[in-house]
Amino acid sequence: MKQEFTISLFTEDHIGILSQITIILTRRQINIESITASESAVKGVQMLTLVVKTTAEMVQKVARQMQKLVDVLKVFVHTSDEIIYQEIALYKVTTKGLMSGNIIDNIVRTYHARILEVSPEYMVIEKTGHKDEISELLRHLEPCGLLQFVRSGRVAITRQVKELNAYLQEMDAANRFKPENIESYN
Compute and round to an integer the Cα radius of gyration of the chain.
22
CATH homologous superfamily, domain 84-151: ACT-like. Chain A, domain 2 (3.30.70.1150)
Give me the amino acid identity at 126: E
Q: Which long-range contacts (CB under 8 A, 24 or more apart) does 129-134 make?
A: 129/86, 129/87, 130/85, 130/86, 130/87, 131/87, 134/87, 134/89
Q: 27-58: per-residue pLDDT in tens?
A: 999 999 999 999 888 888 899 999 999 999 99
Going from N- to C-terminal start, the domains of the chain cover: 3-78, 84-151
Q: What is the pTM of this model?
A: 0.79
pLDDT level of residue 173 (50, 70, 90 thresholds): low
Read off the pLDDT of each residue in 126-135 and give the average, rounded to a whole number: 96
* pLDDT at 178 exceeding the cut of 80: no
**pLDDT reported for residue 183:** 39
* Fold topology of 3-78: Alpha-Beta Plaits (3.30.70)
* Mean pLDDT for the stretch of residues 84-104: 87
